[in-house]
A and B are shown apart, each in its own frame.
Chain A
């Protein structure tokens, strides 16, 4: 006992060092995969309020750009309004809204904090649980997909952007229909990798890349364009780099996508017998 106390006294500095390192590093690595509380993320109330205050200053710097983007988007949406179309063939019977059922809804949000040059990048947005945001929803900006909701607090949420080592969004190339996973392995905020596409088909540069649809995103949201495609040595796969549509260096407005039929799909998919399926 006496020896133990003597030992502890002698190495107390080193022991404290080890203890503090242990706490810090376990917190870091456990938060990377799953955040257990919101206190260490910018979705907590204090940090959220401070970030909102900061954003209220800096947003004016981007006002022109944001306005232009929103105008473009309004124009696109207005073009789709039913008032702009003339009905053909008046003998058709119109049945009110039983052909289409809405599967996805969009909630607009403002980005109050974001990074793009870390190994894993996050954005904080100004809506949270009170607005019906849940973990795992998709996030989209006018240029292309942004990421998924990683953690939610009452009035803020944290978005894990596709500029992360494990973004794992399923996307497809429009021109030939092949699909694969998004992975961020470059060090460039505009380029992401697309893995899992076999190299028996040629890939054309500037081919369109869209989401495949399913859990988070509806089918057909823009992701970006094919930038380069090189064969991976020793494997029958392409290493494709995609130029992202979303510009993370000046992202201001995003939309959170809610999948209304998610529960139904999950219930159905839980009936698949367990075996090692990727995804």
Chain B
């Protein structure tokens, strides 16, 4: 029960922060910080993929409605949710995977977090910018936006966890 409430509050906060702050910051070179995939990443792992894809879809459309992207965030976030179990399975050792706690930076370790979240976030960003620009003549620009935004988004997500996720004492 408690966990449902936590995640609902997180949902609202991530949507508001993304739509009203991060989407409004426009840096040079097309950098766009997208932090909301972290919400899907932090969903409990025993959660059904079907349900997490529906949550992703709802969250994406909420952000889209507030920033004139008409379904772009929804599409890339659904992809993120769809690939998440496969990527987690690939990089988790067996005993870790049995342990059904929330998978964050502290419970799973830094290397693991960099690989899994990094790969998922890369796919998410690439998908997003491919469809935003939708022109293969500008593939270099797509890659430039993806790479630069990926670095900033990743660091931002790590920062969010360092600030807001309580560090467990027993590890």
One of B30, B50, B54, B82 near A117 (C-beta < 8 A): B30
Q: Note all chain A residues with C-beta closer than 8 A to B24.
A: 113, 115
Q: Measuring CB to CB, which residues of chain B are less than 8 angstroms from any residue of chain A? A: 20, 23-24, 26-27, 30, 32, 49-50, 53-54, 57, 60-61, 64-72, 74-75, 78-79, 82, 131-135, 141
Within 8 A of B (CB), among A25-68: 25-28, 31-32, 35, 39-42, 44, 47, 50, 54
A44 to B68, CA, bound (A): 11
By DSSP majority rule, is chain B's interface helix, strand, loop, or mixed? helix
A135 in contact (CB, < 8 A): no
| A204 is an interface residue with CB less than 8 A from chain B | no
Query: B32, B131, B133: which contacts A25 (Cβ < 8 A)?
Result: B131
Asked whether B53 lies within 8 Å of A119 as measured between CB atoms, the reply is no
The segment from A15-23, A137-145, A194-202, A235-243 that touches chain B is A15-23
Report the interface size for chain A: residues with CB under 8 A from the other chain. Answer: 35
Residues B67 and A42 in contact, CB atoms below 8 Å apart: yes
Q: Which of A13, A28, A115 has the most CB of B within 10 A?
A: A28
Q: Kindly identify which residue among A24, A115, A118 contacts B75, using a CB–CB cutoff of 8 Å.
A: A24
Q: Given A20-B57, A25-B131, A118-B132, A54–B20 Cβ distance below 8 Å?
A: yes
Q: Which residue of B lies closest to A13 (CB)?
A: B49
In the bound complex, do residue A17 and residue B53 qualify as a contact, i.e. CB atoms below 8 Å apart?
yes
Q: B68: which A residues are within 8 A, CB to CB?
A: 41-42, 115, 122, 124, 158
